[in-house]
């Protein structure tokens, strides 16, 4: 159901009944999308919403609408684990800004969603609590790291879920599960109260059934926040520019893209051409370096952000430690997944003396060149488009022993993350498993990107 359909049911019935029904669907979760229900708090909040509505008090634009938050959002009424053993007993002392804004608008969080531990991964197989499976095929992954959020929406447990996107972690699972996944412009949503992965690319966004629903959520959570100095004015408050010229990224439809994905994208492009859009191929050779740049810069930031998890201030501490050094080593050995350790090692290596100039500094320079190249392309074209991921959802376990193969799934999503540009994955007509169509716009052009996403959505009905 969409948000407006749920709101209609709330109006004709009650928020309590709507939330009870969502909780029952959550209890029947067949994809291991969820880690913890927030039943008691959700039912109390639903009763409060009903009381407001019955007394003629404005309960907010999302009054009574249930939703799910990825388990790296700090929330009341649950643990916040980031799907990592080191935080399995952590209860947040405050809520994230995004959750606070949604609750102020009347939305009700009913559960926390599974993810790759600390959001490190593209399949939700790196969760310390087990993988999430794809609702369309239980032998396949749901994508990551926001796989639980995407699966919960695909299963119609709730009309929307919150995710985070650092290099594609909203868009990739959206593509794999057949839902809409939005990564807004960097800084559009406050990151206050969200477990940090890579601070220069972390972005918060929704996973929904429709483009309109994504916009409704962004209308609530976007905008400046004094607690996060990177936030910007709400880019969803401005009018959309009409899209006339569409740039199809040549490198994203070349070798390495699966035939079923390519055919879905080309079919959608043919529809755009027949509808009068100017659709041209644009070559951006620098994109070949984007993945390497991402996997230098992001692990460096990961290593910095994970340094706080030491077993001293919060989190799980093994009981066998005898000195400070062993507290650190045993806590991290027990609490981090192999992928967390891998990224810490890579990050510390590229930041170390003797290698900083050769790796991190060079990557930062190429990041600037990538930004310039994409900005230049967006001076000619209103949006840039292509597949979200080069394949449909892959099999569980297929890439777990080959990190490079897993990282290659990110090759079409990391460029928008590195440049801070808005990007959305919209499901398009496919011959089998879901395929996502990715739309990228210039920084701050979120409304234009979303308006064009509605066009793609309509063309795929």
Residue positions annotated with a catalytic role: 70, 145, 169
Q: What are 384's strand-pairing partners?
A: 247, 440
A 10 A CB-CB count for 340 gives 24
Residue 174 to residues 57, 61, 392, 402: CA-CA distances in angstroms? 36, 25, 11, 23
Pairs from 374-378 (Cβ < 8 Å, separation ≥ 24): 374/284, 374/415, 374/419, 374/421, 374/440, 375/419, 375/442, 377/247, 377/282, 377/284, 378/247, 378/441, 378/442, 378/445
Cβ atoms < 10 Å from Cβ of 116: 31
Does residue 116 sit in helix, strand or coil?
A: coil
Structure tokens at 66: 């249930």
How far CA 90 is from CA of 87, 228, 244, 294, 374, in Å, comes to 5, 23, 49, 30, 41
Q: Is the dihedral of CA 404, 406, 408, 414 positive or negative?
A: negative
Residues recorded for the chain: 461
Q: Are strands 245-249 and 180-183 parallel, antiparallel or unpaired?
A: unpaired
Apex 331 CA angle, 326 and 334, nearest 5: 120
Give the C-alpha distances (Å, rounded to integers) separating 273 from 122, 174, 294, 402, 424.
33, 25, 33, 39, 20
171 neighbors 426 (Cβ within 8 angstroms): no
**Could you tell me which residues are beta bridge partners of residue 437?**
387, 426
């Amino acid at each position: 159901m969409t948000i407006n359909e749920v709101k209609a049911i709330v109006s004709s019935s009650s928020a309590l009944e709507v939330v009870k029904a969502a909780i029952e669907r959550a209890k029947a979760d067949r994809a291991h999308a969820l880690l913890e229900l927030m039943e008691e708090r959700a039912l109390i909040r639903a009763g409060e919403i009903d009381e407001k509505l019955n007394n003629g008090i404005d309960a907010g634009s999302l009054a009574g609408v249930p939703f799910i938050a990825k388990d790296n959002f700090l929330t009341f009424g649950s643990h916040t684990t980031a799907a990592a053993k080191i935080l399995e007993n952590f209860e947040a002392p405050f809520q994230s800004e995004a959750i606070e804004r949604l609750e102020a608008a009347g939305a009700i969080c009913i559960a926390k969603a599974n993810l790759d531990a600390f959001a490190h991964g593209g399949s939700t197989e790196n969760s310390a609590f087990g993988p999430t499976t794809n609702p369309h095929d239980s032998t396949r992954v749901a994508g990551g790291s926001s796989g639980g959020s995407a699966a919960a929406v695909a299963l119609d447990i709730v009309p929307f879920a919150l995710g985070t996107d650092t290099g594609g972690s909203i868009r990739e699972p959206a593509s794999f599960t057949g839902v809409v996944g939005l990564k807004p412009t960097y800084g559009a949503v406050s990151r206050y109260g969200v477990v940090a992965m890579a601070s220069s690319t972390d972005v918060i966004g929704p996973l929904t059934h429709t483009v309109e629903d994504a916009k409704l959520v962004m209308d609530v959570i976007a905008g400046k926040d004094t607690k996060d100095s990177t936030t910007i004015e709400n880019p969803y408050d401005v009018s959309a520019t009409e899209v006339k010229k569409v740039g199809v990224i040549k490198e994203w439809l070349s070798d390495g893209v699966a035939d079923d994905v390519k055919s879905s994208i080309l079919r959608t492009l043919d529809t755009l051409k027949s509808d009068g859009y100017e659709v041209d191929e644009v070559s951006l050779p620098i994109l070949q370096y984007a993945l390497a740049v991402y996997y230098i810069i992001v692990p460096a930031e990961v290593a910095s952000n994970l340094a706080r998890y030491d077993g001293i201030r919060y989190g799980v501490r093994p009981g066998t430690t005898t000195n400070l050094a062993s507290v650190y080593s045993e806590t991290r050995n027990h609490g981090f997944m192999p992928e967390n350790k891998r990224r810490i090692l890579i990050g510390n290596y590229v930041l170390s003396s003797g290698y900083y100039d050769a790796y991190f500094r060079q990557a930062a320079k190429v990041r600037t060149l990538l930004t310039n190249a994409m900005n230049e392309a967006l001076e000619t074209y209103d949006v840039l488009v292509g597949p979200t991921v080069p394949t449909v959802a892959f099999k569980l376990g297929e890439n777990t022993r080959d990190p490079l193969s897993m990282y290659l799934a990110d090759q079409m999503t990391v460029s928008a993350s590195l440049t801070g540009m808005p990007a959305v994955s919209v499901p398009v007509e496919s011959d089998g498993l879901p395929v996502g169509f990715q739309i990228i716009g210039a920084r701050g052009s979120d409304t234009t990107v979303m308006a064009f996403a509605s066009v793609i959505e309509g063309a795929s009905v």
